[in-house]
């Protein structure tokens, strides 16, 4: 069972902390050291050796659903030309596990596979809501407008027989446009149906600043 859900205001106030080139944030702990060591390695072949932006995902729902993990959204330079490490994307979510191993999640498909392997034991509407909110926050990170803030999410919890379908969506703030939506279906046993995971990115970034 999940602990009682914190006030929704906490979700709104749990903002991410962005960092932009040419500087990097000071290395504060072993997890950040692992992240920067991994980035130094994967960016050896790139002309630009530093990501355009790194955002630590500091979100109450994400921490509740994935308590042993830390997540960072890493955004690579695409103008005047793309300079992206092989196997990654301009918007890459990076998961650092409890054992300090690093898992890049560079796409909606990769995120869906990750959620299919990690989510489960959802047996009531409150758990479904928290899980959908956490999953949406990760989906925002790999969206085309992922480096932009998003509006307050909208959540829908629907019972279909013994199953629970949780849908969450959020609009990108201007000057970015569009929205990200995610839908998850949990069976009577609390397990996620991997074939029913739907992630829809309809965002587009605003003009370069």
Dihedral over Cα of 170, 201, 71, 192: its sign: positive
- Residue 131 inside a domain? The answer is yes
pLDDT at 206 over 90: no
Q: Is residue 56 part of a domain?
A: yes
Share of the chain above pLDDT 90, in %: 68
Q: How much is the pLDDT for 209?
A: 56
Domain-embedded: residue 107:
yes
pLDDT in tens, 23-40: 444 445 788 889 999 999
pLDDT at 56 over 80: yes
Inside any domain, residue 209: no
Peptide bond just before 22 cis, omega within 30 deg: yes
Q: How many domains does the chain have?
A: 1
**Residue 188, pLDDT above cutoff 80:** yes
207 in a structural domain:
no
Q: Are 32 and 55 in contact (CB under 8 A)?
A: no
In a domain, 118, yes or no: yes
Evaluate whether residue 206 is within a structural domain: no
Give the model's pLDDT for residue 99: 86
Residue 189 domain boundaries: 8-201
């Amino acid at each position: 069972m999940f602990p009682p859900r914190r006030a929704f205001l906490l979700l709104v106030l749990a903002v991410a902390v962005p960092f932009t080139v040419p500087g990097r944030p000071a290395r504060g702990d072993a997890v950040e050291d692992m992240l920067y060591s991994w980035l130094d390695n994967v960016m050896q072949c790139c002309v630009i050796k530093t990501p355009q932006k790194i955002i630590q995902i500091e979100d109450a729902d994400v921490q509740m659903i994935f308590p042993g993990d830390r997540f960072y959204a890493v955004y690579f330079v695409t103008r005047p030309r793309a300079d992206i490490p092989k196997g990654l994307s301009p918007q890459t979510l990076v998961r650092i596990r409890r054992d300090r191993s690093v898992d890049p999640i560079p796409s909606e498909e990769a995120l869906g596979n990750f959620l299919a392997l990690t989510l489960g034991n959802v047996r009531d509407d409150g758990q479904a809501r928290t899980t959908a909110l956490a999953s949406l926050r990760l989906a925002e990170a790999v969206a085309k407008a992922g480096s932009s803030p998003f509006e307050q999410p909208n959540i829908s919890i629907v019972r279909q027989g013994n199953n629970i379908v949780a849908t969450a969506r959020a609009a990108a703030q201007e000057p970015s446009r569009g929205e990200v939506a995610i839908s998850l279906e949990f069976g009577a046993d609390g397990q996620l149906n991997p074939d029913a995971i739907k992630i829809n990115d309809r965002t587009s970034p605003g003009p370069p600043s």
